Amino acid sequence: MFDGPFQPFYDPSTQRCLRDILDGFFPSELQRLYPNGVPFKVSDLRNQVYLEDGLDPFPGEGRVVGRQRMHKALDRVEEHPGSRMTAEKFLNRLPKFVIRQGEVIDIRGPIRDTLQNCCPLPARIQEIVVETPTLAAERERSQESPNTPAPPLSMLRIKSENGEQAFLLMMQPDNTIGDVRALLAQARVMDASAFEIFSTFPPTLYQDDTLTLQAAGLVPKAALLLRARRAPKSSLKFSPGPCPGPGPSPCPGPSPSPQ
């Protein structure tokens, strides 16, 4: 990106960028330069070899101590993992959480902690399950009538301003944007007017607090983002200048209203 150096896949910043895109989010590293989003142009360069610093590989053969032959780097065949599944891909196939006997049970967290010691994983985003009336109702339903089908729901994953947290909200389709905003404000212990809710695909700013999640197209699930509310542009104010004409006296101001 930005005509910069090659970014290897194992680099944490590369993995965060790709994870944002796969999760449906606008990459955090681009939000400062493009706060309103920017079109992506993807090119398939899998068959091209990246040469660092613009240096061509040595065209011939070399010798090392012991006169062992060292062939060109391009002639070497690297080992490929084939169909082996990465730890992150395995985790993504698991449910994030399940409701059992009225309790929300984290599935991925303990397994991720176990794999962390043996497998390289990208930086983890803290996922916070927000307590909502719909989640409480689902707990009760799973206890009293576990065999009844679940009603239509809206599962929202909302990323914080700095990208370090993701809030998971289980909502009803007829809940409103205002309901989501109020629950987020309560979970974050802050004023509801301090942040804005928006999406990147398509670019939409959700300002109407009376809009239902169904009408907004956020059912059955959606990935959203938060950003600090932008202050409205203040109107210019001009102070009164001196009166035209001779003399240094200023223009008379408005007469005081009678008491």
- Mean pLDDT over 35-51 rounds to 71
Per-residue confidence at 113, pLDDT binned at 50, 70, 90?
low
Question: pLDDT: is 63 or 145 the higher one?
Answer: 145
Backbone angles phi, psi at 83, to 5 degrees: -95, 10
- The CATH number of 125-231 is 3.10.20.90
Could you read off the pLDDT of 212-251 as tens digits, one per residue?
999 999 999 999 999 999 876 654 454 555 555 555 555 5
Domain assignments of the chain as residue spans, ordered by start:
125-231
For 102-164, the DSSP string reads TEEEESHHHHHHHHHTTS--PPPPEEEE---HHHHHHHHHHHH-TTSPPPP-EEEEEE-TTSS
Per-residue confidence at 38, pLDDT binned at 50, 70, 90? Answer: confident
pLDDT in tens, 120-150: 555 568 889 999 999 999 998 888 888 888 8
Question: 195 - beta bridge partners?
Answer: 228
**Contact status, residue 102 vs residue 139, Cβ threshold 8 Å:** yes
